[in-house]
Structure 1
Amino acid sequence: MPLYAISRDAPVRVLFVEDSAEDAELIQMQLEDAHLRAEYLCVDDAAGLRAALDSFVPDIVLSDLSMPGFSGHDALAIVRAHSPMLPFIFVSGTMGEEVAVAALREGANDYILKHSSARLPVAVDRALREARIEAERQRVEAELMRSQRLESMSLLAAGLSHDLRNILQPLLIVPDLIAQRSDDPRLHQLAAVVAECGRRGHEMAESMLSFVRGSRRASERFRAADLFHAVQLLLKGSMPAGVRLDVRLPDPELSLDANYTELQQCLLNLSLNAIQAMPSGGQLELAAEAADGGVRLEVSDTGKGMDEQILRQLFTPFFTTKADGTGLGLVSCKRIVAGMGGRMEVSSQPGQGTRFVLWLPLLAEEADEGLPAVVAGHGQRILLVFHEAARQSLIGNALASQGYVPDRAGDGAAALRRWAESGAPDLVIVDSGIAMFPAAALLSTMHESGYAGPAIVIEDRETPFDPAQVPASMPLHRLQQPVDMHRLFEVVAQVLAVPA
């Protein structure tokens, strides 16, 4: 029965740096007697040690101090340069006190004399255990740093998203007004282009929040061919002369369900990375086909590829191999794909190129619901309660152009004052993000105080509205940001057509 037993379930890899095969065998027998489950390898020179560190990947190194043409001090220097935290123990026939102290200062974990090696299993177990503890500490520390970075990104994304949506709001409202005021088909076409740009821009602003929240963005059905065509157009100005773009699409009518803007952003990011990986030219390929009940998209290149170390860190926030990179592009892509219910995989070899595979599920098609036609207003008074003056002004002007009379308030308290001064409106449109009486509290107070008309809540994703807090007898409709003005006009006409 051994005096000390090493308790480990998983096998470890032990590397001997030893010129005596007999001594290495004796040490191995001693560790096996202590019930260490291990694989063993013995080297006796610098070249063999370097090769073993890369191919054998040891969990611990046991090294002799003096060997012909090679020393334990040299071995320790090589190991520390390769793996600073790898446990290293000197096992030597002779070692004076000064030599032992110097070895510990150089980074050795311990030293054992061969003629009194009973302490060896204890030293090996302690070194392995301390290495595991240190690895876990570094993992937790890295996870904490990652969490702090994502928290900072969340604050930044929230601020930028808020400002960008305010700037883009006119692009969502004005085109509808222009189209309704003109019969010129060219003007209608320009208005449609502006509205589409506004919608895509608004979705990109929202995607900054979904990046850190992992929230699911609305999906739409579109053809893969149309998506690839848009990516080709966006890449046209970035494509070097030596890079050839090929599109492989066996089924030109293949469709997929996803957020078009986010997926376009993802494919564009991957394609630009591929182009940068081919400074001397090569082939970039976009491919799509039905697979596993969904759609598989591929972006591949014939560039310089990546090694295992880079692949392991590829989706770590802020990790980048480019001097001007942010380290967020691939993280964003993976979040986008995961948010759509899909998965993203990568394979690469140095000198052999890289392939990204995105798999997305198909969703059941939903039937479109018929909506009543837009009806112009006849002077009905609408109380608008918005905390953002720009959004309130735009929606107020739009409703005025339809024949309604807007009455504006910046918060819940101001809305109650306007009601007391001017009487009950025909309709209340309230932003879910107002202060000084939240939307639900404002509507409940008005209803309890005698307001019998309908209400429309413009609901922001950041400030969701709970309809359960409003009396069930109050006619209530909810619309999501960004506001589609045509849809808003239809709902306003619909609720005002119903007698209070």
Structure 2
Amino acid sequence: MKSALRILLLEDNNHDAELIQELLEADQFVCEITRAQTRGEFVAGLEDAGLDLILADYKLPSFDGLSALQLALDARADLPFIFVSGSLGEEVAIEAVKIGATDYVVKSRLSRLVPSVQRALRETRERAERKKAEKAFRRSEMYLAEAQRLSHTGSFGWDLASGEIYWSEETYRIFEYEPASAPSLQLVLDRTHPDDRTHLQRILDRALIERTEFTVEHRLLMADGSVKYVRAVAHPSAGEDPGSFVFVGAVMDITERKRAEEERERLRQLEADLAYINRVTMMGELAASLAHEIKQPVTAAAINAQACSQWLRRDPPDPPKASEAAAAMVAALTRTADIIDRVSSLYRRGKPERELVDLNEVVREMSVLLADKATRSAVSIRTDLDPALPASTADRVQLQQVLMNLMLNGVEAMQDKGGELTVASKRTEDGQLLISVSDTGIGFSSDAAARIFDAFFTTKPQGTGMGLSISRRIIAAHGGRLWESSTTGQGATFQFTLPVGATAS
């Protein structure tokens, strides 16, 4: 069902008013007509928000059409206004249209009324749709400009045929040029850091020749001497004109991201340095134990070398015995080399090296390395290792460092009265690898337990307070978790988990 056409009709002649309604309804219009004959009635009729159309006679006894037109333009400029009059001359009608009337129809030719109304309604509808589209476009442009400002991302277009370049407002802000400046490649190169210009020029030249998408990062040297980092991305597109070719792209100010990356790298290097210092410090604490550990196979090698020499000097020489002594000497020196390799790996600096690591093997290595110090502290080291524990992809040296930290702390916690250090491994219910290091020392107070993983917090007179903090970071970087549980006077237990597929980041 058609919606009613709501009309404000300014007409003092009843017959003409009826005729106008009949003509419109004969053409399938459903009309709701509000009739006015005076200025007051017309003004009141304009207040109807649902009006679709105004039809007005030119002359009335107490009012006139031109005054009505002016009132309508002031109050409801969006409404179509059609003069329907028998006294409207050609010149006056044309002037009325210039002022703002939509059309005019002479009463002697009312057959033009329906086409005039149809055209007026269509034009009004199209005008409303166009305004709506324009408003949506302006809103979209505003949102885009604000989004570019917030994300520090500008847009650009580059027409290869004409050389013309378009910049958005944000692109002007990034390069710090006035919007009145005509963008050009030269402006870009002038603003580019001198050390990056050759690289950028090479990228642009290749894009011109190959006409393929490109991505480039480079620095800008601003007028005040500051430096910005930008990243430009562009892809080829067909232009508006046949045969034209343009690049459409975005330029992002990545200065904050670059500085954050530099800061992260600086902190990463600082952490690596602290971890290295921690390892070296621990090795210093183990110097006596290491000397003892190395001295034993070296002494054995020397004894076997002397025995080999004696067997060969006998008359007659005894080669089988000499060979046996030589083999024992080689075995002792090989063991010495293994010890040195284990120790030197802890002194190594560099990026994490990921490999499949057998955690049980690392526990056994650290147990051997700490055996002499534990013995001298009246501490026994016991292991309870799950033989079915799978390997984990991780950095071997970092895990050695964590275990050495935890085990050395446990030994030192019992060095006055002796005790037992237990290192266990198992698989958790959710499939992770769990290592626990437990001692029978005095444990931690509640205050100390809350702070033991804080950097530079220590309960040892000569401690640096970095071991546990670094250990927790290492485990977290492998995707695991390190925590402690203790009861004052009943020892402490440190546990950490690792995913089976852990990788050192």
What is the TM-score with the length of structure 1 in the denominator? 0.36
**Which one has a bigger Cα radius of gyration?**
2
What is the TM-score with the length of structure 2 in the denominator? 0.35
